[in-house]
Amino acid sequence: MDKGVQTRDAILDTGVEVAFSVGLGGLTIGALAERRRMSKSGLFAHFRSKEALQLAVLERARETFTDLVLRPALAAPRGEPRLRELFERWLTYGSKRIPGVCLFVKAATEFDEQPGRLRDRLAENHQDMLDTIAQVCRTGVSAGHLRADTDAEQFAHDMYGVLLVFYLTDRLLDDPAAERRTRVAFDALLDAIRT
């Protein structure tokens, strides 16, 4: 890999960590320069504006989410195995608090009342993920694992809720039952649509 790209990725990975800790709104060029022990002007030459940096960090998080969760899950056999793999990976890397996997949930509520490019990009990312879950759910119907009358968009919506409350109960509440309850909830969703 090109040295410049490596440097940029390393800077952005630190940016994802900072954003995961204090929010994407708290991620400034100054704060990132301090963490990377770089000059502010050097970082400014890379990113030009706070918003450009935030968008680049979000994009880097999307790459991490794709590498750790999405791509391996989509390599699993169609239908229920693929749906389970998607759930398990999202849950696992969520419970490991991998910044790139977790940033989307955090940033969603942070920016929902702030119109602009960041909000637009976040909405696209979440809609893409909902669409992907619905699509994987449909492979379960065509594979005969799930009922023909399954509402795939409703399933995607419900599965999202199961993971959002996992983030809250595991992370904010440190609830030792968080993961077990999340699995019970996901199994109940699947049971309701299985053939």
- End-to-end Cα spacing for the chain: 47
22 contacts a second copy (rule: CB under 8 A): yes
10 contacts a second copy (rule: CB under 8 A): no
Identify which of 1, 177, 159, 19 has the alpha carbon closest to the alpha carbon of residue 89: 159
Binding residue for a second copy, selected from 109, 135, 142, 195, defined by CB under 8 A? 109
Binding residue for a second copy, selected from 34, 51, 173, 195, defined by CB under 8 A? 173
CB 163 within 8 A of CB 90: yes
115 contacts a second copy (rule: CB under 8 A): no
121 contacts a second copy (rule: CB under 8 A): no
Residue number, 114 or 195, with CB nearest to a second copy: 114
What are the tokens at 50? 């706070």
Q: What is the DSSP string of 120-184?
A: HHHHHHHHHHHHHHHHHHHHHHHTTSB-TT--HHHHHHHHHHHHHHHHIIIIIS--TTHHHHHHH
Place of tokens 């669409």: 131
**Interface map 122-151 toward a second copy (x if CB under 8 A):** xx--xx--x---------------------
158 contacts a second copy (rule: CB under 8 A): yes
Place of tokens 């790459």: 63
Instruction: Report the C-alpha gap between 155 and 55 in whole angstroms.
Output: 29
Residue number, 77 or 120, with CB nearest to a second copy: 120
93 contacts a second copy (rule: CB under 8 A): no
51 contacts a second copy (rule: CB under 8 A): no
Site residues (vs a second copy, CB under 8 A): 20-23, 25-26, 97, 105-106, 108-114, 119, 122-123, 126-127, 130, 153-154, 157-158, 160-169, 171-174, 177, 181, 184-185, 188, 192
